[in-house]
Amino acid sequence: MVKAIRFHETGGPEVLKLEDVEVAEPAPGQARVRHSFIAVNFIDIYFRTGRYPLALPNGLGSDAVGVVEAVGPGVTDIRPGDRVGYLLGPQGAYAQARVMPADVLIPLPEGISDRTAATLMMKGMTAQYLFRQVYPLKGGETILYHAAAGGVGLIACQWARALGVTMIGTVSSDEKAALARANGCAHTIVTSRENIAQRVREITEGRGVPVVYDSVGKDTLMDSLDSLQPRGTLVSNGTSSGSVVVDSQLLAAKGSLWMTRPAMVHYIHPRAHMLEMARELFDHVLAGRIVSEPQQSFALADAAQAHHALESRKTTGSTVLIP
Ligand SMILES: NC(=O)c1ccc[n+]([C@@H]2O[C@H](COP(=O)([O-])OP(=O)(O)OC[C@H]3O[C@@H](n4cnc5c(N)ncnc54)[C@H](OP(=O)(O)O)[C@@H]3O)[C@@H](O)[C@H]2O)c1
């Protein structure tokens, strides 16, 4: 038996319950992983609240690191004792240990601690696919990036700097602005007192930006569209403040704009490609171009507190659970 967070109904953080669950022996193609750190992501809130439906009761979480304890028949490239992380697979990462499909496990290199890796799996890989695949940055661009002091955000700040990209980042407070700037964000806009699109026009001397990465959604949509150059691209990669609905005519009126709503799952397969994405991310970390540590840690049993902090915008950077 291991301790795991499960939920029997959708709702607020209080629906998350610590329970004892059985962990099976790994079947063919599977591996059993004992977690050292479990990452909390905003998508976990979408599942908990029912915005992304799951059959209940269910576990939660898809992002953790740890050590392989056992592998099932047919698993050859992952061995007991390997340090691994993952960001794909069935919900249920909020647990001391679990059985996983072995083909989603990413071996962790020496030189990257479990603690750091727990901030990289979902969040670092998201920065990779946004900046290197969805709208590939060449260097030299000025971009608008929302929630720059968040979990994905702090890695994105550093990745943009490494690429020679000037990032304009939005944040909700002066403390978050200072943190984003310390991580490489060139300009910050404090949304509680500044107009986003107006500030972007000032910073870019009226030109606007070629791309906006918008994970906030409902609250920032119009500012994002108003910050773009003609034929610019809105990458709508999250909905922390609520969903967006866009009339295509609006994209024409605002400058023949492009809009995409990317999901990681369409940018990470096959396995060889996932490992190549991870290699690029790990290279930045090993070279010191990206430095990433959890900013908040909670006991596994306190997952509800972690959710409350994340959804009430009290966190910066990455949040982890300690099993
Ligand atoms: N499409 C994909 O494949 C993919 C993959 C991973 C993550 N994502 C998305 O990327 C975003 C970032 O994920 P994360 O886990 O790193 O979270 P996060 O950025 O650490 O937390 C969300 C941040 O959004 C900002 N925010 C603005 N309005 C908000 C509101 N009404 N409620 C809550 N937060 C609000 C807050 O920053 P301020 O206080 O500074 O405004 C908050 O800290 C999420 O939207 C997530 O769903 C998408």
**315, 295 contact by CB (below 8 A):** yes
Residues 110 and 128 in one domain: no
Asked whether residue 45 is domain-assigned, the answer is: yes
pLDDT tens digits for range 10-42 = 999 999 999 999 999 999 999 999 999 999 999
105 and 136, same domain (yes or no): no
Q: Given this model, what pLDDT does residue 152 score?
A: 98
Same domain for 243 and 318, yes or no, is no
Last residue of a domain, one of 264, 282, 304: 264
Question: DSSP letter string over 117-170?
Answer: HTTTHHHHHHHHHIIIIIS---SS-EEEESSTTSHHHHHHHHHHHHHT-EEEEE
Domain that holds residue 94: 2-119+293-322
Cα(311) to centroid(ligand 1), Å:
8
Q: Which residues line ligand 1 (CB under 6 A)?
A: 41-43, 122-123, 126, 147, 149-153, 171-172, 176, 191, 215-216, 219, 237-238, 240-241, 262-264, 310-311, 313, 315
Runs of H (alpha helix) within 287-319:
303-311
Band (283; pLDDT cuts 50, 70, 90): very high
Q: Are residues 228 and 313 in the same domain?
A: no
Same domain membership, residue 131 and residue 30? no
Could you tell me if residue 207 is inside a domain? Answer: yes
Q: Are residues 132 and 113 in the same domain?
A: no
Residues 61 and 38 occupy one common structural domain: yes
Tell me which long-range contacts 202-205 makes (C-beta under 8 A, separation of at least 24): 203/142, 203/168, 204/142
Assess whether 115 and 128 both reside in one domain: no
Q: Is residue 230 situated within a structural domain?
A: yes
Instruction: Tell me, in angstroms, the distance from the centre of ligand 1 to residue 238's CA.
Output: 7
| Percent of the chain clearing pLDDT 90 (strictly above) | 100
Give the pLDDT score at 269.
Answer: 97
> Structure tokens of 287?
């070279």
Strands 64-71 and 30-40: antiparallel
Residue 273 domain-assigned (yes or no): no
The model carries a pTM of 0.98
- Residue 47 neighbours by CB distance under 10 Å: 20
39/163 same-domain check: no
- pLDDT band at 75; cut points 50, 70, 90: very high
Tell me, yes or no, whether 103 and 20 share the same domain. yes
CATH for 142? 3.40.50.720
Instruction: Verify that 177 and 249 share a domain, yes or no.
Output: yes
Q: Give 257's pLDDT tier (boundaries 50, 70, 90).
A: very high
249 belongs to a structural domain: yes
Two structure tokens written together for 194: 């500044």
Give residue-wise pLDDT tens across range 107-131.
Answer: 999 999 999 999 999 999 999 999 9
> In which band, very low, low, confident or very high, does the pLDDT at 224 lie, cut at 50, 70 and 90?
very high
Distance 207 CA to ligand 1 centre (A): 27
Q: What is the total count of domains within the chain?
A: 2
146 and 237 inside one domain: yes
pLDDT of residue 77: 93
For ligand 1, the distance from its centroid to the CA atom of residue 106, given in whole angstroms, is 24
